[in-house]
Amino acid sequence: MNLRPDPTFHASPRLAMEAPVENFGFTVMLSPDGSQPDGIAVVDLDPKSDKYGQIVHQVIVPNKGDEFHHFGWNACSSSLSPLSGHAFLERRYLIVPGIRSSRIYVIDVKEPLKAKIHKIIEPEEVFEKTGYSRPHTIHCGPEGIYVSTLGGGGPDGTDGPPGIFIMDCETFEIIGQYEMDRGEQDKHYDFWWNLPQDYMVSSEWGLPPQFEGGLVAEDLLSNKYGHKIHFWDLRARKNVQTIDLGENHQMALEIRPAHDPKKSYGFCGVVVDTTNLQGSIFTWWRDDDGKWQAKKTITIDPRPEKAENLPPLLQGFEAVPPLVTDIDLSLDDKYLYVACWGLGEMHQYDVSDPMNPVLAGKVEVGGIARGAAHPNGKPFVYGPQMVEVSRDGKRVYWTNSLYSTWDDQFYPDDEGGQMVMANNDENGFHLDKDFYIDFPKGYRSHQIRLEGGDCSTDSFCYPSA
Amino acid sequence: MGFELTTMAALWGAVIASGIYHGLNPGMGWPLAVSAALMEQSPKAMPKALGMLALGHLVAMVGILLPFSLMLVLVTWEGEIRIGAGMLVIAMGLYLLINPRHPRSLARVHPAKLGLWSFLAAMAHGAGLMLVPIYLGICAIAADDTGHLAVQSLMGNSIVTAFIVALVHTIAMTLAGGLLALGIYHWLGLRFLSKTWFNLDTVWAVSLVLVGAFGIYSAMTPEMAVDVAAL
């Protein structure tokens, strides 16, 4: 417990943008075949440091086969509301779930160069206390740490629907299921919220048998992956409205609400439209009558390609689908970054008018049947995937692995992991030639967290204006 | 008589001081008034939010003080009641020292229901209990002053006193918190919100213990308590 609020807690998004920039990043190290234990790489992000752009420390866990994916902080700017009584928590621990093992690691990063495991929660405890499995997205909020899961009970995670559970933000004890009335929600992926307005939005990927062994083409073509987003009364823990984006909009993944809590809108990325292979972004908002609405505001077309250049999964289509797998919104709610993992492109949209996004910038690197090299001449395997934006909006970091078994289906010839950075400055949106991290042999990379919070961790209790 | 006047003034001073103390503590809610004004983009939302916070706090204070005012009917037990009350307040303080965690159920209150939240927050943190020894001290002197009245009017007086104590305390709290909220909203800016936020959890718990100890001490040695209260 601190005597003052943690200096990295900010009342408003604007204050977070003005705060000192990140000196370290934390990135998932994933052993795709489970031959080595997974870990968290600590990356030096201070341009004045001798070791800038290098992995300066690794926290390697004692188990194999966890499959690290997403992770988050024990506490963030959401603590600055008297409503939660958590104002004096430290932003100190990363909560890192294994989505294959359902094991959860709590990693102490108070001293990034000496980051170490603080606590391990074994899978049996997750199963027993929540009835869920395969923990995924982490957010810190009013009642503690909220963890979304991708699976229900049973060995294949289909015994009951997946959902969210709550952990104590000080002891990291698992408290139990979040939902009191889930309505028609039966799949899960991401979730986020607006704390003062007291709403939460959640999304759907698919059930464990639909992703653990690889993408199931028949399920995709028969539109059996998730295509709905759910709106919740956050504190009442009740699903108040479900919007079906249309069954052809397969895999509604990342939920990115506007950071300014005055605003009642946000975005959701959809991986693929099975009618035309487009990737898309939906804008969701609350209308004057208090009903939630959603509308497709960005579409990204597939690129025609000869079958011989494509992986077996795509040969029948003779096209490269964009595969919108991650999106991230800058703290000023101005730019939405859209990873097109199939095309090998990172798009930057100006979403100042959320109903009319405008493509403002684009970077090409990697990609199916293209494999564009990094500006430094080195390879970038797979495509741009997990993207994280610095709080000041000037640096955009990303890695390239989607999910172990899916990487192998879409990029059967690639292997490895890279983390790169693009600058967003007077020269526009462009890759930084000098920032390129090649991950240690046998490791792929996934989500990135930035020291002091980033654009997909912190929720704010006070508007910017 | 002169002694008692001084003591009385000191006790009312304590009612006001505890109000200011509660008001400045962000944990009692003033940042929510800043948030309300910014969310609704209107400074008018601030008095409304402060009013709701004040109402919740007032109800919590009255809710704690009233049972004690009813107990004061038992005139012959007055000393024991004051000692028992002091021990209760000390116990609450010790409990909060041992278990400084804020109840998670408070986080489930809808952010717009500020009155309910304020009531529950005051109850959970023993804000009303902090007033009890002060209130009982005021009642004791008032009773001495007016001589031995009939039981009924004594009770009537102590009930009225309970309401006045709660009201004066809540007004002081609302003015203190309100001024801070106004200052942040109009001049200082949100950056000062976290700068003015101090962890008072331990100080708060110790305050309860001290106030409770004062209550017991003054019940046992009325004359000497005058000096302490006059400080």
Token pair, residue A406, equals 């899916």
| B residues 30-59 closer than 8 Å to A (CB) | 30-32, 34-35, 38-39, 41
How far apart are the CA of B111 and the nearest CA of chain A, in angstroms? Answer: 6
Burial zone of A19 (CB within 10 Å; 0-12 exposed, 13-18 middle, 19+ buried):
middle
Closest residue, chain A, to B199 (C-alpha):
A3
How many CB pairs lie under 8 A apart between chains A and B? 99
Residues B185-197, mean pLDDT to the nearest whole number: 91
Q: Is the pLDDT of residue A255 over 70?
A: yes
Q: Which residues of A sit within 8 Å Cβ distance of B?
A: 1-5, 9-12, 15, 80-88, 142-144, 170, 175, 195-198, 235-236, 261-262, 461-463, 465
User: Which residues of chain A are within 8 Å of residue B31 when distances are taken between CB atoms?
Assistant: 80-82, 461-462
How far apart are the CA of B81 and the nearest CA of chain A, in angstroms? Answer: 33
Q: Kindly determine whether residue A236 and residue B32, on different chains, have CB atoms separated by under 8 Å.
A: no
Q: Kindly determine whether residue A462 and residue B109, on different chains, have CB atoms separated by under 8 Å.
A: no
- Of residues A27, A26, A38, the one with CA closest to residue A442: A38
Q: Kindly determine whether residue B32 and residue A82, on different chains, have CB atoms separated by under 8 Å.
A: yes
Q: Where are the domains of chain A?
A: 13-450
Token pair, residue A62, equals 């004692």
Closest residue, chain A, to B28 (C-alpha):
A82
Q: Kindly determine whether residue B31 and residue A80, on different chains, have CB atoms separated by under 8 Å.
A: yes
Read off the pLDDT of residues A384-397 as tens digits, 9 standing for 90 and up: 999 999 999 999 99
Read off the pLDDT of residues A98-137 as tens digits, 9 standing for 90 and up: 999 999 999 999 999 999 999 999 999 999 999 999 999 9
Q: What is the DSSP string of B100-145?
A: -PPPGGGGGS-TT-HHHHHHHHHHHTTHHHHHHHHHHHHHHHHHHH
User: Which residues of chain B are within 8 Å of residue A261 when distances are taken between CB atoms?
Assistant: 39
How far apart are the CA of A144 and the nearest CA of chain B, in angstroms? Answer: 8
How far apart are the CA of B148 and the nearest CA of chain A, in angstroms? Answer: 46
Q: Are A290 and A330 in contact (CB under 8 A)?
A: no
| pLDDT at position B77 | 81
| pLDDT at position B225 | 47
Q: Kindly determine whether residue B111 and residue A198, on different chains, have CB atoms separated by under 8 Å.
A: yes
Who has greater pLDDT, A67 or B201? A67
| pLDDT at position B141 | 83
Q: Kindly determine whether residue B39 and residue A463, on different chains, have CB atoms separated by under 8 Å.
A: yes
Q: Kindly determine whether residue A88 and residue B39, on different chains, have CB atoms separated by under 8 Å.
A: no
Q: Is the pLDDT of residue A225 over 60?
A: yes
Q: Kindly determine whether residue A15 and residue B109, on different chains, have CB atoms separated by under 8 Å.
A: no
| pLDDT at position B142 | 78
Q: Of A243-247, A344-348, B213-217, where does mean pLDDT reach its minimum?
A: B213-217
Report how many domains make up chain B: 1
Q: Kindly determine whether residue B121 and residue A82, on different chains, have CB atoms separated by under 8 Å.
A: yes
Fold for A13-450, please state it. Methylamine Dehydrogenase; Chain H (2.130.10)
Read off the pLDDT of residues A272-299 as tens digits, 9 standing for 90 and up: 999 999 999 999 999 999 999 999 999 9
Q: Is the pLDDT of residue A3 over 90?
A: no
- Of residues A207, A192, A114, the one with CA closest to residue A156: A207
User: Which residues of chain B are within 8 Å of residue A9 when distances are taken between CB atoms?
Assistant: 194
Residues A210-231, mean pLDDT to the nearest whole number: 97
User: Which residues of chain B are within 8 Å of residue A5 when distances are taken between CB atoms?
Assistant: 194, 197
Token pair, residue B148, equals 């031995």
Residues A171-184, mean pLDDT to the nearest whole number: 97
Q: Kindly determine whether residue A11 and residue B191, on different chains, have CB atoms separated by under 8 Å.
A: yes
Who has greater pLDDT, B196 or B209? B209
Q: Which among B30, B34, B102 has CB closest to A85? A: B102
Who has greater pLDDT, A404 or B229? A404
Closest residue, chain B, to A15 (C-alpha):
B191
Q: Is the pLDDT of residue A308 over 90?
A: yes
CA A417 to chain centre: 17
Amino acid letter, B64 = I
Q: Is the pLDDT of residue B205 over 80?
A: yes
Read off the pLDDT of residues B147-173 as tens digits, 9 standing for 90 and up: 555 666 777 888 999 999 999 999 999
Q: Kindly determine whether residue A5 and residue B197, on different chains, have CB atoms separated by under 8 Å.
A: yes
User: Which residues of chain B are within 8 Å of residue A460 when distances are taken between CB atoms?
Assistant: none
Read off the pLDDT of residues A45-70 as tens digits, 9 standing for 90 and up: 999 999 999 999 999 999 999 999 99
Instruction: For residue A258, name the pLDDT band (cuts at 50, 70, 90).
Output: very high
Q: Is the pLDDT of residue A150 over 50?
A: yes
How far apart are the CA of A189 and the nearest CA of chain B, in angstroms? Answer: 23
Instruction: For residue A211, name the pLDDT band (cuts at 50, 70, 90).
Output: very high
Half-sphere exposure of B148 (CA within 13 A, CB side): 4
Is B105 an interface residue toward A (CB < 8 Å)? no
The overall average pLDDT reported for chain B is 88
Q: Is the pLDDT of residue B6 over 90?
A: no
Residue B176 structural domain: 2-230
Beta-carbon contacts of residue B126 (< 8 Å; ≥ 6 apart)? B89, B92, B93, B96, B208
Read off the pLDDT of residues A7-58 as tens digits, 9 standing for 90 and up: 999 999 999 999 999 999 999 999 999 999 999 999 999 999 999 999 999 9
Q: Kindly determine whether residue A85 and residue B107, on different chains, have CB atoms separated by under 8 Å.
A: yes
Residues A73-94, mean pLDDT to the nearest whole number: 94
- The ipTM assigned to this model is 0.89
| pLDDT at position B157 | 85
Distance CA A423, CA B38 (A): 32
Read off the pLDDT of residues B106-161 as tens digits, 9 standing for 90 and up: 999 999 899 999 999 999 999 999 999 999 999 888 777 665 556 667 778 889 99
User: Which residues of chain B are within 8 Å of residue A262 when distances are taken between CB atoms?
Assistant: 38-39, 41
Q: Is the pLDDT of residue B2 over 70?
A: no
Q: Is the pLDDT of residue B1 over 50?
A: no
Residues A299-305, mean pLDDT to the nearest whole number: 98
Instruction: For residue B220, name the pLDDT band (cuts at 50, 70, 90).
Output: confident
| pLDDT at position B226 | 47
Half-sphere exposure of A195 (CA within 13 A, CB side): 30
The neighbour count for residue B196, using CB atoms within 10 Å, is 16
| pLDDT at position B146 | 61
Q: Is the pLDDT of residue A176 over 90?
A: yes
- Of residues B208, B147, B214, the one with CA closest to residue B22: B208
* Residues comprising chain B, all counted: 231
How far apart are the CA of B28 and the nearest CA of chain A, in angstroms? Answer: 7
B148 DSSP 8-state letter: S
Is B186 an interface residue toward A (CB < 8 Å)? no
